[in-house]
C-alpha cells in the first residue's frame, strides 16, 4: 500500500507509525484508518519488528474524527447501511484500529505529542503504554458539539463515575491529571518526549518478543473476561506458550549463569 497520511519508519526492531495530516491536526478519515490498519498488520507479521511507537506529526497527536468529511475527494462511499455496523466495522474506523493494537503480538507505545481528543483519546487508550508531553491534553469534546458519545475503554482506567463526568462535562485534561488518573504511564517535557519513548522502545526491541505478546494477550483477555477463573486460564495459557520459546530457555540459562539474558525475540 502507498501511504499518503502515515509515515512508517523502521530502526533496529522499532517501527514508528506517525499520523501525518498535521494541517488537520491528524484528524482521522477513512484513508488514514485503512493505512494504519495495514501498517499494524505489517508490523504483526514482520519478525524484525519487535515494538511499535504510535505518534502524530506537528502539534497534535490526533484531533479525532475529521468532522469536515471522512472520505477523500473522488473516493467511493463504502458505508454499511446499518449505522451500528458502520460505526464499529466501517472501512478504516478507529474501533478496528484499537482492536488491532490490542491484539497485536508486540507492545505498542503511544508517544503523545499534543492534543488527543475524541477518537484520538481512544487511540491513546488503545496503546499498551503511553508517554505524554507535559503540554499535551486529553478530552472527550462531543457534547459541546451536540454529539452523543460513549467512553470506549475509559471506564477500565478510571471507573464509570469519572468516565461519566468527563463525557458529560467535556473538561480538557492536562498531562498532570492524565498521569494522576493512570491514563498515561509517564509525563515528560516535550523536548524529552522522543528520547523517553525510545528508551522504552529500545528495551522492548532487545526483549523476549513472543513472551511480551503472550503476556499482553493474557492481560487484555483476563481483564475483559467476567470471572477471575477465566483470567487465570489466560495467564496459564500464556505461560504454556512461553515454555516453548527460545527466549524462555535463554532467560533460565542466564539466571543460572548470573548474567544478563540475550533475548532474540523467538
Whole-model pTM: value is 0.89
Within 10 Å of residue 17's Cβ, how many Cβ atoms? 23
Give Cα separations from 10 to 15, 45, 128, 130 (angstroms): 5, 14, 19, 20
Q: What is the pLDDT of residue 38?
A: 97
Domain ranges, ordered by start, for the chain: 6-205, 209-257
d(CA 142, CA 167): 8
d(CA 98, CA 232): 24
Pairing of strands 6-11, 186-188: unpaired
**Tens-of-pLDDT digits for all 266 residues of the chain?**
789 999 999 999 999 999 999 999 999 999 999 999 999 999 999 999 999 999 999 999 999 888 777 777 767 677 788 888 888 888 888 889 999 999 999 999 999 999 999 999 999 999 999 999 999 999 999 888 888 888 788 988 999 999 999 999 999 999 999 999 999 999 999 999 999 999 999 999 999 999 999 999 999 988 877 666 666 677 677 778 888 888 889 888 887 888 898 898 88
What is the separation, in whole angstroms, between the first and last Cα of the chain? 28
- 75: its cell numbers: 473516493
Pairing of strands 6-11, 14-19: antiparallel
Q: What is the pLDDT of residue 230?
A: 67
Q: What is the pLDDT of residue 224?
A: 76
Report the topology of domain 6-205: 2-enoyl-CoA Hydratase; Chain A, domain 1 (3.90.226)
Q: What is the pLDDT of residue 189?
A: 98
Q: What is the pLDDT of residue 77?
A: 75
Q: What is the pLDDT of residue 232?
A: 60
Helices (H), 104-245: 119-126, 154-169, 175-180, 190-205, 209-224, 228-242
Q: What is the pLDDT of residue 80?
A: 82
Which helix or strand (DSSP H or E) is residue 83 part of? helix 83-89
d(CA 244, CA 213): 14
Question: What's the DSSP call for residue 171?
Answer: P
Q: What is the pLDDT of residue 120?
A: 95
Beta bridge partners of 109: 53, 129
Instruction: Look at the block and give the residue holding cell 475509559.
Output: 154
- 81: its cell numbers: 447501511
Length of the chain: 266
Amino acid at each position: 500500500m502507498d501511504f499518503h497520511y502515515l509515515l512508517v519508519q523502521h530502526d533496529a526492531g522499532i517501527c514508528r507509525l506517525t499520523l501525518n495530516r498535521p494541517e488537520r491536526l491528524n484528524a482521522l478519515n477513512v484513508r488514514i484508518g485503512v493505512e494504519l490498519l495495514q501498517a499494524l498488520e505489517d508490523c504483526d507479521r514482520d519478525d524484525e519488528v519487535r515494538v511499535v511507537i504510535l505518534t502524530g506529526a506537528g502539534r497534535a497527536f490526533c484531533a479525532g474524527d475529521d468532522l469536515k468529511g471522512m472520505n477523500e475527494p473522488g473516493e467511493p462511499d463504502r458505508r454499511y447501511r446499518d449505522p451500528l455496523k458502520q460505526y464499529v466495522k466501517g472501512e478504516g474506523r478507529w474501533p478496528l484500529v484499537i482492536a488491532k493494537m490490542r491484539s497485536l503480538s508486540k507492545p505498542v507505545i503511544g508517544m503523545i505529542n499534543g492534543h488527543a481528543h475524541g477518537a484520538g483519546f481512544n487511540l491513546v487508550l488503545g496503546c499498551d503504554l503511553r508517554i505524554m508531553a507535559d503540554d499535551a491534553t486529553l478530552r472527550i469534546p462531543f457534547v459541546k458539539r451536540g454529539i452523543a458519545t460513549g467512553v470506549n475503554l475509559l471506564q477500565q482506567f478510571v471507573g464509570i463515575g469519572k468516565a461519566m463526568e468527563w463525557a458529560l462535562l467535556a473538561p480538557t485534561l492536562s498531562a498532570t491529571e492524565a498521569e494522576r488518573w493512570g491514563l498515561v504511564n509517564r509525563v515528560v517535557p516535550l523536548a524529552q518526549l522522543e528520547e523517553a519513548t525510545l528508551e522504552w522502545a529500545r528495551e522492548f526491541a532487545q526483549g523476549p518478543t513472543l513472551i511480551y505478546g503472550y503476556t499482553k494477550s493474557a492481560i487484555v483477555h483476563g481483564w475483559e473476561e467476567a470471572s477471575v477463573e477465566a483470567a487465570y486460564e489466560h495467564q496459564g495459557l500464556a505461560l504454556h506458550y512461553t515454555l516453548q520459546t527460545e527466549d524462555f530457555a535463554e532467560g533460565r540459562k542466564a539466571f543460572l549463569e548470573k548474567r544478563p539474558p540475550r533475548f532474540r525475540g523467538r
